[in-house]
Amino acid sequence: MIPTGIVPEAFTLLSAIAMVTEKVQVGTCVSDPHRRHPAVFAQMVATLDNISKGRAIVGLGLGEAMNLEQFSILWDKPIARMTEFVEIIRELWSGDKLTYNGKFWRLCDALLQIKPVKRTPIYFGANGPKTRKLTAKLGDGWLPTPRTPQLYEKHLGEIKRAAEKIDRSFEGFDPALYVYTAVSEKYEDAFKQLKKIKPQIAFFPKVIEEAGYDVKIPEHLRENLYSEIILNNEGLKKFEEFGKYIPNEVVEEFSIVGTPEDCISRMEEFIKAGVRHFILINMGPDPKYVLDVYSKKIIPSFHEIH
């Protein structure tokens, strides 16, 4: 059965959020280079940045079938397309006229009559070797899906070395992490909540194996499951089947879960691995409790430490 719920357009919603906030950064996690022309995307982000007074950030990924194939949107050669996409939006944000002749887009004396308040950082949701190299070349930050602290450190090292090879400074680069969290007074209650969504926490078989888990995942579930799945009954059944092969230990290692003290300890491990920016997905069990404990206990503890 298709999941229930409303999924609004991100930038319309972010503009509304920007109007009722003052400090929080607003951005996508993540958009893709396929659904919008780069000039349209650049104008949308510049508008959001002006509304928020310079708080916009951009997360970009290579795209997912569920957002593209069902709408007959072409998404071939995603890395080459992403490279052109970023080059174009950066040039348009400068405020100068742009003439560009690429494989995917052509612009002639193109000019946006709006630009960001300041340089808008671009984060890449890079989960493979090729996209990590792209992150080193074009990204202001890295925003991968969940993984262990050890694997995060290893992959961040790949990005740093790739940047060094092209003589690009790593100063100011922002290593982030998209990660699920569940917090409760009892560890068991928090862990039980995350076990329900195992396929969402660890949906790349190769990443699970690279983290050191010897999982016997059938071949039909192995290749790029998340990016290629279609949002229909067959696709959802496939996703649920995949979850049966994920060990419970993966949920613990790929998330921030447990009591407030457990979560503080886990975040320390990720910080030692290089994370500087956490994008937390609040899974409860009581979402209000999670927000409260992060704001009053977990985050203040890091202000004291760091």
What is the predicted pLDDT for the residue at 226?
A: 61
Q: Looking at the domain assignment, is residue 173 inside a domain?
A: no
For the entire predicted model, the pTM comes to 0.92
Does a structural domain hold residue 20?
A: yes
pLDDT digits (tens, 9 = 90+) for 180-214: 999 999 999 999 999 999 988 988 888 999 999 98
What CATH number has the domain bearing residue 39? 3.20.20.30
pLDDT value for 306: 47
Instruction: Indicate if the pLDDT at residue 242 is higher than 90.
Output: no
User: Is residue 267 within 8 Å of residue 256, measured between CB atoms?
Assistant: yes
The reply to whether 60 falls in a domain is yes
- Range of the structural domain that residue 98 is part of: 7-120
Position 295 in a domain: no
Residue 24 exposed, middle or buried by CB count within 10 Å (0-12, 13-18, 19+): exposed
For residue 115, give the amino acid letter: K
Q: Is residue 224 part of a domain?
A: no
Q: What is the DSSP string of 11-42?
A: HHHHHHHHHT-SS--EE-S-B-SSSS-HHHHH
Say if residue 42's pLDDT is above 70: yes
Q: What is the pLDDT of residue 27?
A: 96
- Region 280-286 average pLDDT: 97
**Could you tell me if residue 174 is inside a domain?**
no
What pLDDT score was predicted for residue 224? 57
Could you report the per-residue pLDDT of 56-103, keeping only the tens digit for each? 999 999 998 888 888 899 999 999 999 999 999 999 999 999 999 999
Number of domains in the chain: 1
